[in-house]
Amino acid sequence: MFLSTIGYFCWYIAAKSEETVDSSYNARLDTFSQRVVRGEIRGKNGEVLARTVEDAKGEETREYPYSNLFAHVVGYSDAGTTGLEASANSYLLATHVSLLDQVSNEAAEIKNPGDSVVTTLDPALQQLACDALGDYNGACVILEPDTGKILAMVSKPDYNPNTVAEDWESLISEENTGANLLNRATQGLYPPGSTFKLLTALEYIRENPADWQDYRYECGGTMEYGDAVMSCYEGHVHGGLDLRLSLANSCNTSFATIGQTLDLDSFHALCESFLFNKELPLPAGMEYRQSSFVLDGTSGLAERVQTAIGQGKTMISPMHNAMIVSSIANGGILMSPYLVERVESADGKVVKQFMPESAGRLLSVAESETLTNFMVAVVNEGTSPSLRSDSYQVAGKTGSAEFNSNKEDSHAWFVGFAPAEDPKIVVSIIYENGGTGGSVATKGAKKIFEGYFSR
């Protein structure tokens, strides 16, 4: 019993204490800053995203050279702490300069410099994502599928972390309906719209492993179910389709028909294996909201049909959608997204290095190839011809998420990756009120891919 106590004690100190100690209920963190100058937060190539500067009087202020660009992901530390400033707090306030320097600083009564956090963030890509969103409210997440590195994470509207303390009243006032402080990339939940058809298609494939390729549907543009009518986008009549072309053309009536055949409990299980209603494997301290999928065996016909095409009660965050697509891009294995590449002492020694971690296999290699194939068809034969390019092949899926009964009011989604044969980046982008059909989103994604591959 004594030995197990000692064992537990060591385990706690070695493995568990870091995340526990890093809590706003821990009054010690405030006192660390009296001995240590808060370290820097850097981009992947060493660009300074946040630093502490001291003026002539010895007053410290936190500076964010990129102003609004990294507002949500890096966060702020002047009015409470958020983002990385909060989750990496204990790294920033620890010091690993050599013992000799520490002693001499101590003797000279100079504060020791805190460790720097080097992130996976790519400022150029962050800027591209920000430009792509333009004046829209919304969010964009860019991941590296084979590692899980978060290369960019933008949420709009944003705020200036340099002046957040002064702007605080207006940011939280009731007139401000934009919720600038909310990180929509992880905390915003939206209906997935047609991007969800990827999972509907996957469920159909799993339920019909032998003959899904024989699936045929004759699209007449509309379809009746119960006493309601489902129609395809802008009343398009897609004609004869198999599963691949149903997805490429995002044919609502075809997917509504599929939805009626699915075993709903198994569909529910599939969505939960894709982390709906579940905790996401995100870095400790990153705030997010869980996605939800409520459809099961007890649901009615209307809900079935709506859910199959990504409407209904299903809700997802842009980050989660990026993770699903990232697992498709990575041959079925989801890499846990991460933001901190390493922690360095002020004199450049690596204190802690973070490694990519698998969060498990979500789909088989064959399934990921099939879905990639479908997503290539979206670009080459389907709804998103504008993404075609000679220098790289995009695989993607658009979506429009209706958030009220008015068909015109919808959010525009794009999720996808490129190059399809050897994916380098996964993009998940949503434009609030971006209109139907996802053309805004496709244009935005085009900007990002063009920018990325022309470097």
Partner 1 sequence: MTNIGIQAAKYIMLVLIGLYTMSTYHYLRMKTHKRRNQACGMQLFCMFALHLTGYLAIILYTNERSMIYFYGAQVVFFILYLVLFRVFYKKASRLLLNNTCMLLAVSFIMLTRLGPERAVRHFVITAAAAAVAMAVPVIVRRMRYLWRFCWIYAGIGLLALSVILVFSTVSGGAHLSFDIGGLFSLQPSEFVKITFVFFVASMFQTSLSFKRVFVTTAVAALHVLILVASKDLGAALIYFIAYLLMLFVATRSYFYLLGGAAAGSLASVLAYKVFAHVRVRVQVWQDPWMDATGDGWQILQSLFAIGSGGFLGTGLYQGMPEVIPVVRSDFIFAAIAEEFGGIFAIALLLICLSCLLQFLWISTWMDGMFYKIIAFGLAAVYGAQVFLNVGGVIKFIPSTGITLPFVSHGGSSIMSTFIMFGIIQGLYILKQDEVDRIEQEEKLERRRQALYEKRYETGAAGPGKSGKRRRRDPSGRRADQDR
Choose one: 8-16, 45-53, 411-419, 420-428; the region binding partner 1 (CB under 8 A): 8-16
Residue 230: CB atoms within 10 Å: 21
Q: Of the candidates 315, 325, 320, which has an alpha carbon nearest to the alpha carbon of residue 294?
A: 315
Binding flag, residue 27, partner 1 (CB under 8 A): yes
Site for partner 1 in 30-69 (CB under 8 A): 31
Contact code string over 84-103 relative to partner 1, x by CB under 8 A: -------------------x
DSSP 301: H
Binding flag, residue 234, partner 1 (CB under 8 A): no
Binding flag, residue 20, partner 1 (CB under 8 A): yes
Nearer to partner 1, 80 or 360 (CB): 80
Nearer to partner 1, 1 or 56 (CB): 1
Pairwise CA distance, residues 302 & 416, whole Å = 29
Nearer to partner 1, 21 or 53 (CB): 21
Pairwise CA distance, residues 153 & 141, whole Å = 5
Binding flag, residue 5, partner 1 (CB under 8 A): yes
Nearer to partner 1, 19 or 296 (CB): 19
Binding flag, residue 405, partner 1 (CB under 8 A): no
Binding flag, residue 4, partner 1 (CB under 8 A): yes
Sheet of 41-42, strand order:
60-63, 48-54, 41-42, 116-119, 340-344, 350-353
Pairwise CA distance, residues 394 & 416, whole Å = 7
Pairwise CA distance, residues 421 & 400, whole Å = 26
Q: Is the peptide bond before 337 cis (omega within 30 degrees of 0)?
A: no
Residue of the chain from 56, 100, 107, 355 that contacts partner 1 (CB under 8 A): 107
Binding flag, residue 290, partner 1 (CB under 8 A): no
Binding flag, residue 388, partner 1 (CB under 8 A): no
**Is residue 420 within 8 Å of 414, Cβ to Cβ?**
no
Choose one: 2-10, 63-71, 329-337, 408-416; the region binding partner 1 (CB under 8 A): 2-10
Q: Percentage helix, strand, coil, to 5, in the chain?
A: 40, 20, 40
CB of 102 to partner 1, least distance (A): 9
Binding flag, residue 391, partner 1 (CB under 8 A): no
DSSP 334: E
**How many residues of this chain bind partner 1 (CB under 8 A)?**
25
Binding flag, residue 10, partner 1 (CB under 8 A): yes
CB of 343 to partner 1, least distance (A): 15
Choose one: 16-24, 178-186, 192-200, 326-334; the region binding partner 1 (CB under 8 A): 16-24
Query: Which residues, 6+ apart, have CB-to-CB distance to 93 below 8 Å?
Result: 29, 32, 33, 36, 38, 39, 114
Choose one: 19-27, 130-138, 326-334, 439-447; the region binding partner 1 (CB under 8 A): 19-27
Binding flag, residue 110, partner 1 (CB under 8 A): no
Query: Which residues, 6+ apart, have CB-to-CB distance to 16 below 8 Å?
Result: none
Helix (H) or strand (E) holding 441: helix 439-453
Residues that bind partner 1 (CB under 8 A): 1-2, 4-6, 8-10, 12-14, 16-18, 20-21, 23, 25-28, 31, 103, 106-107
